[in-house]
Structure 1
Amino acid sequence: MKRQLKLWDAVMIVMGSMIGSGIFIVSSDMMRQLGSGYWLITVWLLTTIATISAAICYGELSAMYPRAGGQYAYLAETFGRMTGFLYGWSLFTVIQTGTIAAVAVAFGKFAAYIFPMLNDAPPLYQNGSFMITWMQIVAIGIILLLTYINTRGLESGKFVQSVFTAAKIIALIALIVGGLYLMKTSFLSDNLQFGWASFQNLNGDGWRSISGGALLGGIAAAMVGSIFSSVAWENVTFISGEVKNAQRNVVRAMVIGTSLVMLLYLLCNYIYLATLSRDEIAFAANDRVAIAAAEKLLGHSGTVVMAILVMISTFGCVNGLILSGARVFQTMAKDGLFLKQAIPNNKQEVPARSLWLQGAWASLLCLSGQYGNLLDMVSFVIVIFYMITVFGVVYQRWKNPTAERPYRTFLYPLPVLIYLLIGGLFCGLLIAYKPQYTWPGFILILLGIPVYYFINRRKQLTA
Structure 2
Amino acid sequence: MATPSEFKPRLTLFDATMIVAGSMIGSGIFIVSAEITRSVGGAGYMLGMWVLAGLVTIIAAVSYGELAAMYPRAGGQYVYLREAYGPLPAFLYGWTFFTVIQTGTIAAVGVAFSKFTAYLLPQVGEKVVLLDAGLFQVTAAQLLAIASIVLLTYINSRGVRNGVVIQTVLTSVKILSLLGLTLAGLFYGADSAVWDANWQDAWTLSALTLDGDQLTSTALTGLAFFGAIAISMKGTLFSSDSWHSITFIAGEVRNPQRNIGLSLFLGTVIVTILYVLTNVMYLAVVPLKDIAFAPNDRVGIVAADAIFGSAGTLAIAVMIMISTFGCNNGLILSGARVYYTMAADGLFFRKAGELNRFGVPQNSLWYQCIWASVLCLSGGYNKLLALVIFGVLIFYILTIIGIYVLRVRQPHLPRPYKAFGYPFLPAIYVVVASFLALLLLLFETEYTLPGLGLILLGIPVYYLSRRKEATVPD
TM range (shorter): over 0.9
The alpha-carbon deviation at position 421 of structure 1 amounts to: 2.0
| Equivalent residue number for residue 281 of structure 1 | 291
Counterpart of 1:124 in 2: which secondary structure? strand
Task: Answer whether contact 2:112 2:381 (CA < 8 A) is retained.
Answer: no
Counterpart of 1:450 in 2: which secondary structure? helix
1:303 aligns with 2:313: yes
| Equivalent residue number for residue 381 of structure 1 | 391
The alpha-carbon deviation at position 122 of structure 1 amounts to: 4.3
| Equivalent residue number for residue 239 of structure 1 | 249
Aligned to 2:23, which of 13, 17, 20? 17
1:190 aligns with 2:197: yes
Aligned to 1:33, which of 28, 35, 39? 39
- The C-alpha deviation readout for 1:99-124, integer Å capped at 9, x for no partner, is 11111121112111111222398422
1:52 aligns with 2:58: yes
- Paired AA for residue 178 in structure 1: A
Task: Answer whether contact 2:126 2:139 (CA < 8 A) is retained.
Answer: no
| Equivalent residue number for residue 12 of structure 2 | 6
Task: Answer whether contact 1:365 1:371 (CA < 8 A) is retained.
Answer: no
Task: Answer whether contact 1:98 1:371 (CA < 8 A) is retained.
Answer: no
| Equivalent residue number for residue 459 of structure 2 | 449
Task: Answer whether contact 2:108 2:384 (CA < 8 A) is retained.
Answer: no
Against the structure 1 CA distance between its residues 213 and 264, is the aligned structure 2 distance closer, same or farther, given a 3 Å change threshold? Answer: same
| Equivalent residue number for residue 115 of structure 1 | 121
The alpha-carbon deviation at position 184 of structure 1 amounts to: 4.8
Between 1:2-11 and 1:102-111, the stretch displaced more is 102-111
Counterpart of 1:405 in 2: which secondary structure? coil
- The C-alpha deviation readout for 1:276-316, integer Å capped at 9, x for no partner, is 11111111000001111111111111111110011000010
- Paired AA for residue 460 in structure 2: P
- Paired AA for residue 102 in structure 2: Q
Counterpart of 1:92 in 2: which secondary structure? helix
Against the structure 1 CA distance between its residues 221 and 135, is the aligned structure 2 distance closer, same or farther, given a 3 Å change threshold? Answer: same
- Paired AA for residue 349 in structure 1: G
Rounded Cα–Cα distance in structure 2 between residues aligned with 1:237 and 1:405 = 16
Counterpart of 2:10 in 1: which secondary structure? coil
The alpha-carbon deviation at position 214 of structure 1 amounts to: 1.0
- The TM-score with structure 2 as length reference comes to 0.94
The alpha-carbon deviation at position 200 of structure 1 amounts to: 1.0
Structure 1 segment 336-347 matched on structure 2, within 5 A: 336-347=346-357
Against the structure 1 CA distance between its residues 431 and 102, is the aligned structure 2 distance closer, same or farther, given a 3 Å change threshold? Answer: closer
| Equivalent residue number for residue 97 of structure 1 | 103
- The C-alpha deviation readout for 1:162-210, integer Å capped at 9, x for no partner, is 01010000100110111122225232232223244x2211257421112
Rounded Cα–Cα distance in structure 2 between residues aligned with 1:302 and 1:16 = 23
Task: Answer whether contact 1:68 1:241 (CA < 8 A) is retained.
Answer: yes
- Paired AA for residue 91 in structure 2: F
Counterpart of 1:141 in 2: which secondary structure? helix
Against the structure 1 CA distance between its residues 338 and 371, is the aligned structure 2 distance closer, same or farther, given a 3 Å change threshold? Answer: farther
Between 1:108-117 and 1:285-294, the stretch displaced more is 108-117
Against the structure 1 CA distance between its residues 236 and 300, is the aligned structure 2 distance closer, same or farther, given a 3 Å change threshold? Answer: same
Task: Answer whether contact 2:107 2:384 (CA < 8 A) is retained.
Answer: no
The alpha-carbon deviation at position 129 of structure 1 amounts to: 4.5
- The C-alpha deviation readout for 1:356-410, integer Å capped at 9, x for no partner, is 1111111122234477534312111101111110111111111222221111111
Against the structure 1 CA distance between its residues 371 and 302, is the aligned structure 2 distance closer, same or farther, given a 3 Å change threshold? Answer: closer
Against the structure 1 CA distance between its residues 340 and 120, is the aligned structure 2 distance closer, same or farther, given a 3 Å change threshold? Answer: closer
Counterpart of 2:415 in 1: which secondary structure? coil
- Paired AA for residue 110 in structure 1: F
Rounded Cα–Cα distance in structure 2 between residues aligned with 1:106 and 1:264 = 20
Counterpart of 2:132 in 1: which secondary structure? strand
Rounded Cα–Cα distance in structure 2 between residues aligned with 1:458 and 1:366 = 31
1:78 aligns with 2:111: no
Counterpart of 1:377 in 2: which secondary structure? helix
1:316 aligns with 2:323: no
Rounded Cα–Cα distance in structure 2 between residues aligned with 1:104 and 1:122 = 17
- The C-alpha deviation readout for 1:203-240, integer Å capped at 9, x for no partner, is 57421112122112111111000001010011110000
Between 1:384-393 and 1:121-130, the stretch displaced more is 121-130
The alpha-carbon deviation at position 431 of structure 1 amounts to: 3.0
The alpha-carbon deviation at position 348 of structure 1 amounts to: 0.7
Percent same amino acid among aligned pairs?
49
Rounded Cα–Cα distance in structure 2 between residues aligned with 1:379 and 1:367 = 19
Aligned to 1:68, which of 74, 89, 104? 74
| Equivalent residue number for residue 4 of structure 2 | none
Counterpart of 2:137 in 1: which secondary structure? strand
| Equivalent residue number for residue 147 of structure 2 | 141
Rounded Cα–Cα distance in structure 2 between residues aligned with 1:134 and 1:59 = 42
Rounded Cα–Cα distance in structure 2 between residues aligned with 1:221 and 1:124 = 32
Aligned to 2:229, which of 219, 224, 228? 219
Counterpart of 2:414 in 1: which secondary structure? coil
Rounded Cα–Cα distance in structure 2 between residues aligned with 1:371 and 1:212 = 28
- Paired AA for residue 17 in structure 2: V
- Paired AA for residue 449 in structure 1: I
- The C-alpha deviation readout for 1:414-447, integer Å capped at 9, x for no partner, is 2212211211221222234443343222111001
Tell me how many residue pairs correspond in the alignment: 462
Structure 2 residues without counterparts, runs of 5 or longer: 1-6
1:159 aligns with 2:169: no
Task: Answer whether contact 1:56 1:415 (CA < 8 A) is retained.
Answer: no
Counterpart of 2:260 in 1: which secondary structure? helix
What is the alpha-carbon root mean square deviation over aligned residues? 1.5
The alpha-carbon deviation at position 264 of structure 1 amounts to: 0.3
Against the structure 1 CA distance between its residues 323 and 120, is the aligned structure 2 distance closer, same or farther, given a 3 Å change threshold? Answer: closer
| Equivalent residue number for residue 341 of structure 2 | 331
- Paired AA for residue 143 in structure 1: I
Structure 1 segment 393-412 matched on structure 2, within 5 A: 393-412=403-422
Counterpart of 1:438 in 2: which secondary structure? helix
Rounded Cα–Cα distance in structure 2 between residues aligned with 1:136 and 1:431 = 28
